[in-house]
Amino acid sequence: MAENTAERTDTQSSRPEPKKRALFRQPLALQWFENGVLKKRCDEERQAGRFELFLDLLYVAILASFADGLAEHPSGIQVVKYILILAPSWHIWSDLRELMNSFYNDDLGQRILILWIMAVLVVYGNNAVVVDEDITAMRSTVGAYMTARLSANTAHLFYSFSSYHHRAQQRLWFVCSFFALLIYVPLYVESLSLRSKIAVAAVGIIVEECLWVFCYSPVAKRLMRTTYTTAADIGHEIDRFAAFYIIVLGEFLYAIIVGHPAAVGFNVRLLRAIWTLIIAFCFNWLYVHNDGSLEYEHAIRHNIITAFAWVMMHLPLVASMLVGGHVAAASTKTDELEGAELWLLCGGLGIGIICLYVIAVLHRSDDPPGMLMLSKHIRLLFRPVIGIIIICLPLSPDLGATAFLSIIMALIVACVIWENVTSLQCGAKIWEKWENTGYPEDYRIPHATPGAAPNAPKRSYTPVAYSIGTEPVIDGLKKYAGGPLKLDAANPVLTLDYGANVAGFPFVEVSSVSASGAQIELKYSEPFGGLKEPWSNGPFLYVNGLMNSFRTETFNVSTTGPTTSFFIQGGQRWQSITLLSKESITISGVGFRASVDIRPINELPGAFSSSNSVHDGVWGLGTRSLDLACVEANSQPSTWEVSKEGALVRGQYPAISLKGVGFKNYKLSFSAKVVQGGVGWRAAGGNNGGYGPYFVLTTGGPKLLSTSPLKLKPNSLIAGYGFSIINQQLLPSAPPQNFDLPMALSDNEWYRITTTLTPTGYNISINGTHAAFVPSDPFKSYVIPGLGASTLTDGTFGFGPFLNQAAYYRDVEVVGEDGSVLYTNSLTGNDVYEEYGIAQNPRAVCLDGSARDREIWIGDFVHTARMIAVSTGRYDHIKSMIDFEFDWQFLDGPGAGLVPMQAPMGVGKQYRDVLYPSQFGETDYHFFFLVTLGDYFTLTNDLDLLRKHWDGTKFLVKTLVARYLDTKNNLFGAADAAWFTAQNTQHATAPTALFVIAINKLIEVAKALKDTETADYYTQLSQTISKAINDQLWSPSLGAYSWSLDHLSDTALLATAFTIRAGIANTTQATTGIQKLSDLFFQIGYKDSTVIGNGPGTQLSPNVQGFLLESLFLAHTQLNVAASVVVPVIKNLLEVYWPKMLNQNQYRSGSTWEYLYPDGSPGIGLFTSLNHPWGGAPTYIYTDFILGIRRERNVTTGELGWVFDPVWDVVDGLGLTWAKGKMPLPDGRWIEASWTGTKGSTEMKVKAPDGVKVEVRQRDGAKRRELL
């Protein structure tokens, strides 16, 4: 027995490189303590169980022979002999158990050692039973024992030279054991009396047992003062004892069958055989039941005393069970049992149950008081009472053998019933109510109507055009007005066009289908080209996102009526339905049950139109993107269904546990029941989406058809690494590894699946049977610490089947390399949702994209908030986003002050520590959030909300300045800073100027809140940083602001845009900076910086150019930069660049895009989000500067107010002759305005609600502007 793990302080792994196979391998310790810290070498797959089980079979035969000898000649002297010959054999078994536990490598040397000791044991077993009758038998027995013991201990000595980890204690044990064996030498002397030999043997056994305890105890460790000491693989140790105990119980069963002693018919002997079976079954039940606690710490893990006691108690347990079981089984061969036999029967079984009591008491119960019906000690009290009663039964000589066995059986059954009932939780029922006994739809079709989403709109979106043929087509579509659409073998493909992006739960209404049913594949895409691809424009295997991770799915339609997908599809204009089976099908209705409320543009509170419809179309792009990307609270249901049966998870990107992020080198076990096709899970995944190993098991059950190029074999394991077992567009994963399973798996059957992480790969077992070993070497080149864990054995776990699969999961357990239980979860409670990041959204939030990535990127929201104000008027969405960010703000710890920049929708805020720093680290996104706060104040003057969060705002500013402002140069730059606006370059113009924009806006908030001290500090800070930018980053030779201190000869688009917006640039600097933009122009738009080359793959960002667009208007209105400088750039952006999102039918989604290529196509190919609000800046630019309704601060009064003041020089440059629109107000009303005419003859009209003042500035009136 090795040291108990109670002394450990941490667990680590030593990771040797895998060795080539050899006949004789270097013995290496598998686990050890180093300065009290447990370390473990998870070497190649261990197969010790096969040879150890073989050894156990021989042992039970030997021990059964000993018991048989005692039963045939029951007497006191025979009992003594039985104990004295059994104990040494147990010592030999323990020697081999310890050796295999610590050094198992399955080489030729170990196999020969096992065989050699087994051969010696044959000598021992055959001679020990007659040791008291013949001196030759005595000498053979003692010689065999000493040879076996010395052989095992010599192996320890030999191993101590090959591995230093156990060296000190191994050598101590060898020396002590060697001298202890000398105690047995007198047994060779013939003249020594039998009583003296008994005394010698007893002394030797006791001394050896004491020495074993001493050598492997903490006492020896302290005396030797060694750094490295022994440790046990606790899980393996427990399994070995349990396996041996079960084989011992087999002695009960072997004798009641072999030789058919209870034949013929039903007779008294047969009754005894059945009673013997029940007794053995109950003894196994009690051993497995332990102490009945729901939460407990095993005795071997509890402390060193309970660990040694637990191990040592198995010797009397085994000895007593063998004798009692042998006599019980022998009762089937005789009419009655003699007195001595009865004492052996009752003594053996009575002592056995008392041993089971002691073993159970040694476990430590962690159940809180009152959880179970009775406390542990009262529950277990029945065992010693019954044990004593059974031992005393022979005092009633009038009872026959049948009566004895009947009483014993009844008492043990009563004990089992008592313990199982009293270990129930308080309030538990005897009979659980049966629910859901009928086959649910999920078993037939893994696409069910989703769970409650109370705020989802009660409407559907239907196609506007369609075509039926042999493949998807974009031309020649017919108008869709409902009616039947028939698909058959000749024309199996239905193309559907929704005119613009929609979102919701896909449904198909079927009016006719054959009796055998039909399978149809639905495919969804934003660009038309996705319908031509096997995975459409997905899959979106990056985050779970409360949506379908796949852009294809199969419906198995067996009856007429509606079939609805369980999952949301977040954004698509195009859809195809392909008949996969031979049977025809008629569709009477198709569409999406709404998950968001997409309103016609003429129903919005905000509006804009002009004399040029292209501009109207560009304004409308942003409004539709908002309707899809901004979701109501509780409108996006979970992608899991959690019930008493477990978590039902349909094919999706695996959702990861946020409690397992710090786990290393563990064993993950869970139970799974496949509903359709297979089951999938992750291990060693990163906290940012779970990037890492991904495993998919398939069953032999029926599979849904699919046009997917990936065909999963039945009864196989597919192992991948990265995002999935397939590539996700631009995010590649490792090529999957495929393994045939050694067993057949069935649907609707529960399986226990275990994944053990080792330095060389992953061991997968099913129901305790080895299924596959997945080598990790092919995955090494795909390890990306920024996305996943830094090693192949570290990280969390998660669950999610693959496409068209569904499975139940429950009873998850993670065990560390030291055997400690790190995690358990039944997956039946509501806590599962937030832990795994798949909770229904509790707040209204605006996502980066409606279909991808569906995360809360707060930097993107700086555009979104202003778009909301001028179009949908959902100021409550802005407030909800602000509340959300401050709700997640860190108040202490390493991220103190920061707010999340990339929060997932379904994660509970209690797990935000786990997401730090990965989802808090885009530093300038915090600056954008501060700008949003200032914009919200400008738009609403809502001091109540800003006052509520003012302390949090100041805390955030304080943190950003303290952590990231370099006081040596007063520019922002730090080792742990990441800058989206400067491609992560430190001391750059753009992020530093962005902070000035934010701080200038917060100065006005501070003044409004009468926080003079903060206003003065922010004013000084703004001036200091502005001066630093002008002194160090303005480049007269470039005629523009440099990109950064490290790139003084380069410039960047946002360096120009933000210095203008911040008021840092003067008129000359703004003018030359805008003229210098020509260096960034490429084909249709502007690159982010001059560092970026020109090519077909150059990305042109509408997000970045949106900031530029506003700065051009401000340069003209605030700095008097000539219209001839700004208008050409504005005209290109609004009439060339943004219209690319409008005028290409194959890409048009009705919304703004994420990126564009120079040829005007989506800038990340099929993977591009074509519903991305960050590209919608023109929506508020048109309202603010072309229609001309905006809030400005009056330079005379200092008050914020509404103005009606189009930027006429730009209007003229764009050739517009009229514009009209509405500006929503926070209270639900709006300002309506219009203008018409040309310079010299312009009519301006404005209509405002009661109490709202709008200053109208005539076309040639004075310019009084100080825009915030």
Do 1170 and 1191 lie in one domain? The reply is no
Do 1169 and 1031 lie in one domain? The reply is yes
In which band, very low, low, confident or very high, does the pLDDT at 14 lie, cut at 50, 70 and 90?
very low
pLDDT of residue 622: 98
CA distances to 360, 367, 382, 388, 577 from 377, rounded to whole Å, are 10, 13, 9, 17, 65
pLDDT of residue 1051: 98
Does position 569 have pLDDT exceeding 60, yes or no?
yes
Lowest-pLDDT range of 380-384, 758-762, 867-871, 1033-1037: 380-384
Residues 6 or more apart in contact with residue 451 via CB below 8 angstroms: 637, 638, 641, 840
Q: How many CA atoms lie within 13 A of 366 on its CB side?
A: 8
Do 1046 and 965 lie in one domain? The reply is yes
Does position 7 have pLDDT exceeding 80, yes or no?
no
| Residue-wise pLDDT tens digits, 787-823 | 888 899 999 999 999 999 999 999 999 999 999 999 9
| 1135-1138, Cβ contacts within 8 angstroms, sequence gap of 24 or more | 1135/614, 1135/615, 1135/1214, 1136/1084, 1136/1085, 1137/1084, 1137/1085, 1137/1100, 1137/1102, 1137/1105, 1138/618, 1138/621, 1138/1102, 1138/1178
Over residues 661-678, the mean pLDDT reads 97
pLDDT of residue 212: 75
Residue 349 domain-assigned (yes or no): yes
pLDDT of residue 452: 41
Does position 3 have pLDDT exceeding 70, yes or no?
no
Two tokens, residue 101: 């536990």
Q: Computed over its alpha carbons, how large is the radius of gyration of the chain? A: 39
Residue 433 domain-assigned (yes or no): no
Residue 998 domain-assigned (yes or no): yes
pLDDT of residue 444: 39
Lowest-pLDDT range of 342-346, 545-549, 1035-1039, 1258-1262: 1258-1262
pLDDT of residue 451: 40
> Which of 199, 232, 265 lies at the terminal end of a domain, its last residue?
232
> Which of 574, 595, 616 lies at the terminal end of a domain, its last residue?
595
Altogether, the residues listed in the chain come to a count of: 1268
Q: Which amino acid is residue 790, in one-letter code? A: S
DSSP letter at 3 equals B
Do 1250 and 1212 lie in one domain? The reply is yes
Q: How many CA atoms lie within 13 A of 432 on its CB side?
A: 8
* Distance, CA of 6 to CA of 218 (rounded, Å): 11
Lowest-pLDDT range of 620-634, 1073-1087, 1137-1151, 1196-1210: 1196-1210
Q: Which of 842, 804, 799 is nearest to 565 (CA)?
A: 804
| Residue-wise pLDDT tens digits, 173-192 | 788 888 888 888 888 888 88
**How many other C-beta atoms can be found within 10 angstroms of the C-beta atom of residue 266?**
9
Residue 792 domain-assigned (yes or no): yes
Do 1216 and 1137 lie in one domain? The reply is no
**Helix (H) / strand (E) containing 720:** strand 716-722
pLDDT of residue 72: 74
Q: Which of 282, 392, 404 is nearest to 337 (CA)?
A: 404
Do 464 and 476 lie in one domain? The reply is yes
- What CATH number is attached to the domain comprising 468? 2.60.120.260
Which residue segment(s) compose the domain that 1206 sits in?
1186-1256
For every residue of 351-409, DSSP letters joined together read HHHHHHHHHHHHSEE-PPTTSBSS-HHHHHTHHHHHHHHHHHGGG-TT--HHHHHHHHH
Does position 135 have pLDDT exceeding 50, yes or no?
yes
> Which of 1136, 1152, 1182 lies at the terminal end of a domain, its last residue?
1182
Number of structural domains found in the chain: 6
Chain-centroid distance of CA 753 in Å reads 16
Does position 927 have pLDDT exceeding 70, yes or no?
yes
Lowest-pLDDT range of 417-426, 487-496, 503-512: 417-426
- What CATH number is attached to the domain comprising 266? 1.20.1410
Does position 6 have pLDDT exceeding 70, yes or no?
no
CA distances to 373, 1026, 1056, 1066 from 1088, rounded to whole Å, are 69, 22, 11, 22
pLDDT of residue 939: 97
**How many separate helices (H) and strands (E) can be counted in the chain?**
31, 48
Residue 1240 domain-assigned (yes or no): yes
Does position 40 have pLDDT exceeding 70, yes or no?
no
Does position 670 have pLDDT exceeding 60, yes or no?
yes
* Distance, CA of 372 to CA of 425 (rounded, Å): 4
Lowest-pLDDT range of 325-329, 844-848, 1245-1249: 325-329
Do 857 and 958 lie in one domain? The reply is yes
Do 492 and 550 lie in one domain? The reply is yes
Which phi-psi region, left, alpha or beta, contains residue 203 (left: φ > 0; alpha: ψ -120 to 50)? Answer: alpha
Lowest-pLDDT range of 409-418, 422-431, 1119-1128: 422-431
* Distance, CA of 712 to CA of 695 (rounded, Å): 12
Do 406 and 448 lie in one domain? The reply is no
Average pLDDT over all residues of the chain: 88
Do 423 and 457 lie in one domain? The reply is no
Residue 1236 domain-assigned (yes or no): yes
User: Among 378-382, 449-453, 1055-1059, which range has the highest average pLDDT?
Assistant: 1055-1059
Residue 1265 domain-assigned (yes or no): no
pLDDT of residue 304: 79
**What pTM does this model have?**
0.68
In which band, very low, low, confident or very high, does the pLDDT at 662 lie, cut at 50, 70 and 90?
very high
Q: How many CA atoms lie within 13 A of 648 on its CB side?
A: 19
Does position 445 have pLDDT exceeding 60, yes or no?
no
| Residue-wise pLDDT tens digits, 285-333 | 888 888 888 777 888 777 778 888 888 888 888 888 887 877 777 777 7
Over residues 121-129, the mean pLDDT reads 82
- What CATH number is attached to the domain comprising 1127? 1.50.10.10
Does position 4 have pLDDT exceeding 50, yes or no?
no
| Residue-wise pLDDT tens digits, 942-976 | 999 999 999 999 999 999 999 999 999 999 999 99
Does position 708 have pLDDT exceeding 90, yes or no?
no
Do 169 and 247 lie in one domain? The reply is no
Residues 6 or more apart in contact with residue 109 via CB below 8 angstroms: 24, 25, 27
Tell me if 280 sits within 8 A of 348, measured CB to CB. no
Residue 730 domain-assigned (yes or no): yes
Do 212 and 270 lie in one domain? The reply is no
Q: Which of 906, 454, 841, 878 is nearest to 626 (CA)?
A: 878
Over residues 549-554, the mean pLDDT reads 96
| Residue-wise pLDDT tens digits, 610-660 | 999 999 999 999 999 999 999 999 999 999 999 999 999 999 999 999 999
Does position 1263 have pLDDT exceeding 50, yes or no?
no
* Distance, CA of 932 to CA of 934 (rounded, Å): 5
